[in-house]
Amino acid sequence: MCDIIECQKCGTVNYLDPYFFWNWKGNVGCAECGTVYGIHMIQGFMYDGPTEQKGAKADILPLYADKPLKGYEAYGPGVPGKTRPFECLPREVYLGRADKVMFSTRGRPVRGWAPQPPSAGIGGSFGYRWDLEHTAPDVWKEYQERIKKGQVGEW
């Protein structure tokens, strides 16, 4: 859920993300024509505004803007001079990609990390004898370092 400011001059809908504008008072610029609107938000609700501020400078730009009556014309986050960058992007952990786990909690190498080498076949499974030293030399070196440091536990 976000609040919007619809520009009276050009019809652009400027979207204000609620996290930044939760308790905020200031001037917001239109992404299309640059018209400045004064707003006052309290607890995520528009308390005062939007009122046009002639001759004022915008304190901040909207996060996203579009023109719903003109098809797919839109300004995404981070367009210079139009919208501000979205600095709260999720960390890599939350982007839906699997983590590359090469060692178990006890420090032993696991056989199912990704990406598997082409020799693993379609299912990505090695036989019972898994030659880690030749299959993945970099993991083998890291495993030997962990043994030297005492980071490898018992099975």
pLDDT tens per residue across span 123-151 = 655 554 566 777 678 888 888 898 899 88
CB-based contact 5:18 (threshold 8 Å): no
Interacting residues of 152 by C-beta distance below 8 A, sequence separation 6+: 106, 107, 108, 143, 146
Burial 8-30, CB ≥16 within 10 A → b, else e: eeeebbbbbbeebbeeeebbbbb
Three-class secondary structure of residue 72 per DSSP:
coil
Q: What is the mean pLDDT of residues 27-36?
A: 94
Domain limits, the chain:
3-75, 92-149
**Of 19 and 99, the one with more pLDDT:** 19
Hey, how many other C-beta atoms are within 10 angstroms of the C-beta on 75?
A: 21
Q: pLDDT tens across 75-100, in order?
A: 888 889 899 887 665 555 555 555 66
Per-residue model confidence (pLDDT) at position 127? 53
More confident residue, 122 or 67: 67
By percentage, how much of the chain surpasses pLDDT 90?
A: 28
Backbone angles phi, psi at 30, to 5 degrees: -75, 140
